[in-house]
Amino acid sequence: MTDEVLLVRGALLEGGRTADLIVDGGVIAEVGAGLSRAGATVVDADGLVALPGLVDLHTHLREPGYEASETILTGSRAAAAGGFTTVFAMPNTSPVADTAGVVEQELALGEAAGFATVQPIGAVTVGQKGERLAELGAMADSRARVRVFSDDGFCVFDPLIMRRALEYVKAFDGVIAQHAQDPRLTEGAQMNEGAVSAELGLTGWPAVAEESIIARDVLLAEHVGSRMHVCHLSTAGSVDIIRWAKRRGVNVTAEVTPHHLLLTDDLVRGYDPRFKVNPPLRREEDVIAVREGLADGTIDIVATDHAPHPLESKACEWQAAANGMVGLESALRVVHATMVETGLLEWSDVARVMSREPARIGRLSDAGTPLAAGRTASLTLYDPSPARPFTVDDLEGRSVNSPYLGRALPGDVRWTVHRGVLTVADGALLDTPGVRG
């Protein structure tokens, strides 16, 4: 890494004003008009939208244990390419991130990579088996300072375990992030339950399997007085439940993925395993509902659920294929297409749902901060240019299971700065962070 001084000229900041920024020593030193600094690297940001460095609350980096799919290094490179400067790493690794030792290892690997802050998420239960609580307090007290806990990939199905987890994390202002899926209602499920599943003869994943768990857990969170977060919300009914819970005063937050903002279960007709994901792609009515929920604040954030898989896990018949899609490199462009171009969000709202609120939910005080003097210099410069096809050349991780290959998406991440260090320069990912050319 270098201590390069950056002079960002003519960036479009929140509120619509254009300004220059000077980045020095890992912080934003100045914001204003007509700034200059001798010897600084000049970044021409004319026409570019300046956002606080993006924060993803839901990323699968696969390391340790599944390095054939992704590593912390390759995943954080993909994050930087997509404009992310902080990613929260889900615990479904091998060994599972259910101890202080594993989360501290993940933190150290992220620091060594240098492309983004890697903040571990701890498992709720030992081995994500749902039987007894993991070392929540030890992970919270570790150097990783874990504040988000999830068994993502598995639902914390036992209501007593869920209640105890909610009670436990109150002591250090933690949050339980629930994968809302009733396992009994989704046995053998292959796609969303509806007209398309009936037509194709595939076992359906009913919306009520998500909605019933969310309804139970918001009531538990209210009873305990604790924080609860809903991972990858995907149905219209789920939006209604969260809206009801927030009106009631429950301390609940929710996320939606880019693919649930754009794609529908009609894509399953081609049996392309790139479109197989959990929760599944839903109906057009659900897509409309989650967009509206994100626009009105019912849904708090966008999170990628970046889920890389090796080729053999996707290049097979539909029933045998793994669930999941890579999404770090494409997330901002999909949000641009579905929420900004449609007039549902302004760029200031994008900063909120993709940077500030994820950092707040995860209790990271030095991420998602405004682009103001004295703040940490993590920022993304985005070109809201016309649509172009998304290709494998846009992918910087180890896996290529993107649902957007060949699809036209607007925009382009041009520059990413992580704690004052360049990771993407003029649209090109740097092999070594902060070193150009």
Residues carrying an active site annotation: 305
Are 134 and 98 in contact by the 8 Å Cβ rule? The answer is yes
3-state secondary structure of 332: helix
Angle formed by the axes of helices 207-224 and 236-248, nearest 10°: 10
**Among candidate residues 147, 149, 153, the one with its CA nearest the CA of residue 134:** 149
**Among candidate residues 285, 224, 294, the one with its CA nearest the CA of residue 253:** 294
Q: How far is CA 126 from CA 92, 135, 195, 233, in A?
A: 11, 8, 38, 25
- Cis geometry, peptide bond prior to residue 206 (ω within 30 degrees of 0): no
**Among candidate residues 248, 228, 230, 330, the one with its CA nearest the CA of residue 290:** 230
Helical segments of 114-235, H only: 136-141, 159-169, 195-200, 207-224
Distance CA 39, CA 226 (A): 51
Question: DSSP secondary structure string, 232-288?
Answer: S---HHHHHHHHHHHHHT--EEEEE-HHHHH--GGGGGGT-GGG--SSPP--HHHHH
**Among candidate residues 266, 216, 212, the one with its CA nearest the CA of residue 237:** 212
Element containing residue 72 per DSSP (H, E): helix 72-81
